[in-house]
Structure 1
């Protein structure tokens, strides 16, 4: 077989892979799922005792074979498909569609990495690309590299020489190159988590802290033609105090959203604190005469006055306590162990505290290596301000609400609550609709999804959330289509 002018010995690849101690059986083939694009793919079954990752197999082969004989994809199967005569049925081997679940993936952590991951996924025909993955290890080659350079020019307005790609072959490295001399985090709060697709975008507001990249898995689990945008609360520090109200955030987010979609109908969603911002966005849009086709609230209690005693308790927390709380939230959202030493943190000076938390987040791959202390300081300030924000809507337009609430609900022991205001506030957690009935124009459409407040947006639970959210979106599309057919015959 020949690929890009090189003669490929499939039997030699199979023989060497078969010597790997964790490989039980293997077959290598050349696929051409897209006309003109031949790919070398290896299919393996593993030994019962251990399962190798794609990266391990790739490195193993690189030590024994030239690069052009290293498969661009490895597919792990429970058994190889066989013909009636007992031979491997090569026609029944599935097309590679994603990475193996055992691979360690570092998801995008800023808008530049998000955009690069989308470009790489399209070029390499992979559903999931990590920011530490090597372009050439994933099947990139000299014929695809110029196309990648053209995409970088189109999206970033920069002419990047091919040598730069060879010197910086990962998304993480290339993002740092692209950001040199440019403000890493632009003034616009809009972040394109998934920009491809012809359907109207879903605009999803993240929780406290305005750090939207944990929504990446939600975008991946929605259909490929469903765009998803989010928002990052990166304001000027001088404007931080005046921009922490829900109403002002909603206004700013609408302005950014309308650069992508000037008119409705709009599809909105919000998780945690972001659910309240999404609701306020819906009110402001309705007040302007726009249509809100869907408002999806992701495990958020309805707007209510937060008890004064609770706010006083938060106000007494020192900076170190807020950092610990933020670090814990990041750990919960991303499922990473940060190993933060609270006693050591409190012993440091303020600037050293920020650096300590920054290093912790970088070591966990939750921030890129070029993230500055000033960025973390801003995010921490926003997180603290949003955690203490009281939101009682000034406008009121009943709007249909779809609520996706977690099945693993944190139990509140009301017998231990002595404060009457806190006791009244806790009642929202007992209600099926989390208090949203008073704000909806019809009975709240409640969907109970697996996981807790955080894990509903992590794999594997996010797959169920995405499936049910997409069903709601499709139902709205059908309603709009039927309405148009009725109006225009």
Structure 2
């Protein structure tokens, strides 16, 4: 649900206020950053607290002769010049790319029968990696310390994702307090991570070590646990294709990408390799969250983005990914003349199997606008209702504003915009080069597409999909459209979308650039707005009529 804004207002006389990103660069209006304060009224230090002073008082990057105070508040400028408070940073940590609310873990712990009171903090382990540590005052009830630890850990796994499970649990008789009665977090005992059962489990046999080495090569990460989630470590669809290709070469086993999306850990892969019968029949539908009474939301075809998106949705929101790589074998015989209608027909069949007799919300990002409209057309032809279509920077042949668009964004967002475009261009060219190599390998090594290795078929399918998009022209639709627009594309607004939708298009501008919308803190803004729409459409008998 949307919460009421908390306005801080404007700086008072002789006070300087800056809203900066993690690199101490000013952020544009509407973009979330940390609040820093300077000026004549700023204190010099915390009295007799040199460590805290060093953390909180930094050199002013715009005037090295002065200091700024790091407030620990996430805020943003509003268009009228006022500053809006978002949340405290102190109770958040970022571990392996996930921003974690410590209070959320504490709330679950404090409801446990074995726990009287709990606090969660982040600590660095012996490898200087951040780990979560839970400090617990237990209700002993005759159980041993080991039993309490194991029981709490197992119960947490039923309620929280793996990356939110503390690596260590410390049992205390009481929390250390400061002179004014608050918890003294600095006095909490340091855990010895090597003595605790943690989320990190090293490969235990030769097979697990082989797969772990493949993961290290693909992800360029040294320490990988057999329970780590591939996508939480920075993996995406193209990297997953490379990973599965290496596994196929090593073990002579073909694991569909759709199956890997549901089993994205080394531990799960071992089970698939040992019991090949568990590899599922091809399906384009990847179930991410099946519980809940709301209308199911289907994310069309942006696999790695959808994976990041899922963890921010409400826990009772059914969520599925439509993944074209889940039906590679089905589509391979059609590649010479593949059409978006072919793909959409299979998607619709799989949607009906996953959620029969249902309404469907759809969401898509960037390049799958035309495929999504074809899915809607086929669903409506079969009598299904589509209450909401969410588009995230997704258009049909948007206006080419060229240099004017880049010039406008440089004036609005400064050097940060230019650097982000260079990085995204580099990533795109790297991925395209990998695809080119795979295509060349395919043409040199195999004439018969049906007998090609799985990863070659996936690359061939990407190429056929691009051709199918270029040959398709969407038909007008009556779907209600919500467009989430990055600040980078604000000049495009609805572009040519009004040619395809009869109703007005609701537009929400999201802070961030096109390629950062699925990163913190922008994704929180996006999903908060999206959740407010999903809350208004319960899955009830009236809606089904």
Q: Which residue of 2 aligns with 1:235?
A: 328
1:68 Cα deviation after fit: 8.1
The residue matched to 1:263 in structure 2 has which SS?
coil
Aligned residue pairs total 311
Q: Which residue of 2 aligns with 1:381?
A: 460
Q: Which residue of 1 aligns with 2:239?
A: none
Please give the alpha-carbon distance, in whole angstroms, between the structure 2 residues aligned to 1:444 and 1:30: 39
- Is residue 275–residue 300 contact of structure 1 (8 Å, CA) maintained in 2? yes
Q: Which residue of 2 aligns with 1:320?
A: none
Q: 1:375/1:348 Cα in 2 relative to 1: closer, same or farther (>3 Å)?
A: closer
Q: Which residue of 2 aligns with 1:289?
A: 383
- Is residue 190–residue 230 contact of structure 1 (8 Å, CA) maintained in 2? yes
Q: Which residue of 1 aligns with 2:353?
A: 259
Q: Which residue of 2 aligns with 1:463?
A: 524
1:257 Cα deviation after fit: 0.6
Q: Which residue of 2 aligns with 1:206?
A: 301
Q: Which residue of 2 aligns with 1:220?
A: 311
TM-score of the aligned structures, taking structure 1 as reference length: 0.50
Please give the alpha-carbon distance, in whole angstroms, between the structure 2 residues aligned to 1:353 and 1:173: 35
Please give the alpha-carbon distance, in whole angstroms, between the structure 2 residues aligned to 1:30 and 1:433: 42
Q: How does 1:69-148 map to 2 (within 5 A)?
A: 73=166, 85-86=180-181, 88=183, 132-133=226-227
Please, which of 130, 134, 148 is the counterpart of residue 53 of structure 1? Answer: 130
Deviations 1:287-327 (A, max 9, x none): 23321101111211126999xxxxxxxxxxxxxxxxxxxxx
Q: What is the aligned-residue RMSD (CA, Å)? A: 5.3
1:390 Cα deviation after fit: 1.9
Q: Which residue of 2 aligns with 1:399?
A: 479
- Is residue 300–residue 434 contact of structure 1 (8 Å, CA) maintained in 2? no
Deviations 1:3-56 (A, max 9, x none): xxxxxxxxxxxxxxxxxxxxxxxxxx9996445455996644769xx9751179
Q: 1:352/1:55 Cα in 2 relative to 1: closer, same or farther (>3 Å)?
A: farther
Q: Which residue of 2 aligns with 1:172?
A: 266
Q: Which residue of 2 aligns with 1:449?
A: 510
Q: 1:231/1:467 Cα in 2 relative to 1: closer, same or farther (>3 Å)?
A: same
Q: Which residue of 1 aligns with 2:367?
A: 273
Q: How does 1:5-84 map to 2 (within 5 A)?
A: 33-36=110-113, 43-44=120-121, 53-54=130-131, 73=166
Please give the alpha-carbon distance, in whole angstroms, between the structure 1 residues aligned to 2:438 and 2:357: 52
Q: Which residue of 2 aligns with 1:249?
A: 343
Please, which of 268, 279, 287 is the counterpart of residue 192 of structure 1? Answer: 287
Deviations 1:183-235 (A, max 9, x none): 7463111101222322121011024xxxx243122111011111110122132
- Is residue 303–residue 392 contact of structure 1 (8 Å, CA) maintained in 2? no
Unaligned residue ranges in structure 2 (runs of 5+): 1-105, 136-144, 154-165, 170-174, 189-197, 201-223, 230-263, 401-422, 446-451
Deviations 1:225-262 (A, max 9, x none): 11110122132264241674222211211111111222
Please give the alpha-carbon distance, in whole angstroms, between the structure 2 residues aligned to 1:476 and 1:240: 38
Q: 1:431/1:332 Cα in 2 relative to 1: closer, same or farther (>3 Å)?
A: closer
Deviations 1:123-182 (A, max 9, x none): xxxxxxx974379xxxxxxxxxxxxxxxxxxxxxxxxxxxxxxxxxx9322333135323
Identify the structure with the greater strand proportion: 2
Please give the alpha-carbon distance, in whole angstroms, between the structure 2 residues aligned to 1:431 and 1:469: 21
Q: 1:206/1:459 Cα in 2 relative to 1: closer, same or farther (>3 Å)?
A: farther
Deviations 1:57-89 (A, max 9, x none): 99xxxxxx999879952699xxx9958753538
Please give the alpha-carbon distance, in whole angstroms, between the structure 2 residues aligned to 1:461 and 1:295: 20
Unaligned residue ranges in structure 1 (runs of 5+): 1-28, 59-64, 94-102, 106-129, 136-169, 307-330, 355-372, 410-428
The residue matched to 2:470 in structure 1 has which SS?
coil
Please give the alpha-carbon distance, in whole angstroms, between the structure 1 residues aligned to 2:337 and 2:528: 34
- Is residue 364–residue 372 contact of structure 2 (8 Å, CA) maintained in 1? yes
The residue matched to 2:276 in structure 1 has which SS?
coil
1:267 Cα deviation after fit: 0.8
Q: 1:304/1:465 Cα in 2 relative to 1: closer, same or farther (>3 Å)?
A: closer
Please give the alpha-carbon distance, in whole angstroms, between the structure 1 residues aligned to 2:300 and 2:432: 31
1:349 Cα deviation after fit: 7.3
- Is residue 199–residue 227 contact of structure 1 (8 Å, CA) maintained in 2? yes
Q: 1:43/1:350 Cα in 2 relative to 1: closer, same or farther (>3 Å)?
A: same
Deviations 1:101-133 (A, max 9, x none): xx999xxxxxxxxxxxxxxxxxxxxxxxx9743
Please give the alpha-carbon distance, in whole angstroms, between the structure 2 residues aligned to 1:227 and 1:347: 36
1:268 Cα deviation after fit: 1.1
